[in-house]
Amino acid sequence: METQEGVAPSPTSSDLPRLQITEPSQVRRQTQPNPNQEGSRSIGPPTPLSPRAGFGVKDEGVECINHGPTFCLWRGRGRAPDRESGPRGCTPAFLSAGAEITITPEPAQPAEGDNVTLAVQGLSGELLAYNWYAGPTLSLSYLVASYIVSTGDETPGPAHTGREAVRPDGGLDIQGALPGHSGTYILQTLNRQFQTEVGYGRLQVYEILAQPVVMTNGTALVERRDTLRLTCSSPSPAEVRWFFNGDTLPIAVRLGLSPDGRVLTRHGIRREEAGAYQCEVWNPVSVSRSEPINLTVYFGPERVAILQDSTTRTGCTIKVDFNTSLTLWCVSRSCPEPEYMWVFNGRALKNGQDHLNISSMTAAQEGTYTCIAKNPKTLLSGSASVVVKLSAAAVAMTIVPMPTRPMEGQDVTLTVQGYPKDLLVYAWYRGPASEPNRLLSQLPSGNWIAGPAHTGREVGFANCSLLVQKLNLTDAGRYTLKTVTLQGKTETLEVELQVALNLPSSHKDQRHLPEPEPGTG
């Protein structure tokens, strides 16, 4: 068929469905995508390729730069060569210098599963065919589909996923788009003058994000010794935010984040950094936050102190009235609660509690009380001590028999409470305080000597107490204690001792027998 000079013949129906550009070189780019965007498909301009053997046929500056099975792309000015001037069977086709083609995704930020349309603007002239490519170059391996405008025939290419369909207006529909559809798309058009144009677009399909998981090197760390490492684990590429106790985690000097924000590091963890940590992944269409990870930071004990009755902070000395009760509390700043041990005058007490009770204050309870607190996690310990003394008003002596009503044959101790601390000597008497009645005396050396009334069953103690062994009924009666202090002060105190009769068991039984009735036995 003859054609007018400079006018390309119309393609036959058998030619159009096979319209492809498989390895174009130096094709002028109409729309260039942003090379910094992420996606499943690589980004960049078409890669120039060397012409095949037989290409490069020129006539007055017109050059064949590529060809398909039934057409050739010509570039330059001047008269297009005849069909026979190019590769065999090649129909001349020119690159158009028309309006710029733009490709816009609708919706602009689709989520996975959405139906997406790559809408096209800027098409010009009467078009014969469209080629859609999903990739950075006009390569056959990236061809999604070819579309013949006049017939509506669509031919899938190697990159077709079964979800794409070309629209009559040149757009591309993607049903139920997936993140794998993200990347660069190229539309190539062919008009009736066998001129071709290309346009570039960018599609990003965002995932519906699954809940991330925070992984940690430990949920219980020791202050200033251990390092905290948290990792936000998520299978999807997304931005990451961190939360602490429900609020956005501030970026502090000691806070280390990996470049992708997924690894959080805190060296020498501190107590104020204990709490609930969460991470959140997000993209323009989805957000998901992890379950909290609760971090405990062990520290202490610090500022160990002893309090009186749990409210009043004590100094170095506590003065207590005679025969009153006292409770000492051991407090400290520690996590976890420390283990406690109490020491009295250097002797460990069997008490593992945070408090110590003194039910009845006497001179025997005077001394130094020490609380030792030990943290089982940090392995640190601390202690505090107080001195407990009887108050001056409490030094009123009393004598208490122990037991209070002894029986014949038992031992009894006449216990002295509130005796003078500056005691020089004391003496016990059986009856009034006179020399014939003296049982024993204690000298300043601490030794005691027997007196005229000593029976060999009496023993004296340093606290002025008197032990009488194997009581008999004649031991009952008045006992007198006389004390002399270093200042020469003399004090006399008396006590009445009662001794109960220890009856034989047969007599005890008879005491409970009923009286015989008159006229019997």
pLDDT number for residue 323: 78
The alpha carbons of the chain give a radius of gyration, in whole angstroms, of 53
Helices (H), 387-513: 505-511
- Reading the block at residue 324, the tokens are 């009153």
Whether the predicted pLDDT of 70 surpasses 90: no
Preceding peptide of 235 cis, ω within 30°: no
User: Which pLDDT score, from 0 to 100, does residue 329 have?
Assistant: 93
Which of 24-33, 293-302, 322-331, 348-357 is predicted with the least confidence, judged by mean pLDDT? 24-33
Length of the chain equals 521
Residue 322 pLDDT: 78
pLDDT above 90 (res 106): yes
**In angstroms, rounded to a whole number, what is the distance separating the alpha carbons of residues 137 and 288?**
36
> What does the pLDDT read at residue 519?
43
- State residue 395's pLDDT score: 56
Give yes or no for a contact between 98 and 189, defined as CB atoms under 8 angstroms apart.
no
Per mean pLDDT, which range of 317-321, 343-347, 400-404 is the poorest? Answer: 317-321
Q: Rounded distance, CA 290 to CA 296, Å?
A: 19
What mean pLDDT is predicted for residues 440-463? 87
Q: What is the mean pLDDT of the chain?
A: 79
Other beta carbons less than 10 A from residue 232's beta carbon: 24
Q: What is the spatial distance between Cα 196 and Cα 96, in angstroms, rounded to a whole number? A: 6
Find tokens 């300043």 and name the residue: 444
Quick one: pLDDT at residue 254?
63
Q: Would the pLDDT of 303 be above 80?
A: yes
Choice among 156-165, 252-261, 317-326, 460-469 with the minimum mean pLDDT = 252-261
Using CA atoms, how far apart are residues 361 and 318, in angstroms rounded to an integer? 12
What is the CA 88 to chain-centroid distance, rounded?
73
pLDDT tens figures, 178-215 = 999 999 999 999 999 888 999 999 999 999 999 999 99
Q: Which residues touch 408 (CB under 8 Å, ≥6 apart)?
A: 471, 472, 473, 499, 500, 501, 502
Tell me what percent of the residues of the chain surpass a pLDDT of 90: 55
Mean pLDDT of 368-394: 89
pLDDT digits (tens, 9 = 90+) for 223-262: 999 999 999 999 988 999 999 999 998 766 567 888 898 9
> pLDDT digit string (tens) for 410-433?
999 999 988 887 788 999 999 998
Model pLDDT, residue 39: 40
User: Model confidence at 392, in pLDDT bands (50, 70, 90)?
Assistant: low
Residue 88: pLDDT band with limits 50, 70, 90: very low
How, if at all, do strands 196-203 and 412-417 pair? Answer: unpaired
* Residue linked to tokens 């506590």: 318
Cα atoms in the Cβ-side hemisphere of radius 13 Å centred on 122: 19
String of DSSP letters for 265-298: EESS--GGG-EEEEEEEEETTEEEEPPPEEEEEE
Measured distance CA(181)–CA(116) in Å, rounded: 10
Mean pLDDT of 169-180: 95
What pLDDT shows up at residue 215?
A: 96
Structure tokens belonging to residue 370: 């020490």
Strand partners, 450: 440
Q: Count other C-beta atoms under 10 Å from residue 154's C-beta.
A: 19
Q: Map 13-69 to HEC letters.
A: CCCHHHCCCCCCCCCCCCCCCCCCCCCCCCCCCCCCCCCCCCCCCEECCEEEEEECC
- Quick one: pLDDT at residue 485? 84
Tell me the DSSP string of 82-139.
PGGGSSTTPEEEEB---SPPEEEEESSSPBTT--EEEEEE---S-EEEEEEEESSS--
CA distance 74 to 59: 11
SS3 state of residue 381: strand
Euclidean distance between CA atoms 103 and 123, whole angstroms: 10
pLDDT of 203 = 96
What is the predicted pLDDT for the residue at 295?
96
- Residue 86 CB-density burial (10 A; 0-12 exposed, 13-18 middle, 19+ buried): buried
Looking from the CA of 345 toward its CB, the CA atoms found within 13 Å total: 6
C-alpha distances (whole Å) from 515 to each of 351, 450, 453, 508, 511 are 56, 50, 45, 15, 10
**Whole-number percent of the chain with pLDDT over 70:** 75
